[in-house]
Amino acid sequence: MKKYKITLSFTANKILKHLHPDIKKILRATLNDLSTNPYSGKPLKEELEGYWSLPVSKYRVIYQIEKSSIIVIYIGLRKYVYAKFLELLKAIKL
């Protein structure tokens, strides 16, 4: 089975560092699973097309799939993650 390389964006890495150790452990295990099955998340639509979302407890991991790698772009609480990620995308495109 092909294993994809997982890369965290600067923003995702910064967010991960500030999470509770128990959540970090769950996220790392989930990302390891994701490396062998990148399509286990759900594709996002509309303004977020091209990105994928994976549920991890109360959190969501937003990522992109490239040829042989997965880029984790953003991590956040389900309640806020999509709005905050959209804000981040709009700020980058200014």
First and final CA of the chain: distance in angstroms?
40
Mean pLDDT, residues 68-80: 95
Answer yes or no: pTM beyond 0.95.
no
Domains of the chain: residue spans and CATH: 5-92 (3.30.2310.20)
- Tell me the C-alpha distance between 79 and 37, whole Å: 25
Neighbours of 64 (CB within 10 A): 15
* pLDDT at residue 93, rounded to an integer: 73
* pLDDT at residue 91, rounded to an integer: 87
* pLDDT at residue 68, rounded to an integer: 92
Residue 33 scores a pLDDT above 80 = yes
Between CA 13 and CA 18, with CA 15 as vertex, the angle to 5 degrees is: 110
Burial (0-12, 13-18, 19+ Cβ within 10 Å), 5: exposed
Give residue 79's pLDDT band: very low, low, confident or very high (50, 70, 90): very high
The backbone region for 63, taken as left when phi is positive above 0, alpha when psi lies in -120 to 50, beta otherwise, is beta
Mean pLDDT, residues 23-50: 94
The most distant pair of C-alpha atoms in the chain lies apart, rounded to whole Å, by 40
* pLDDT at residue 73, rounded to an integer: 95
* pLDDT at residue 92, rounded to an integer: 80
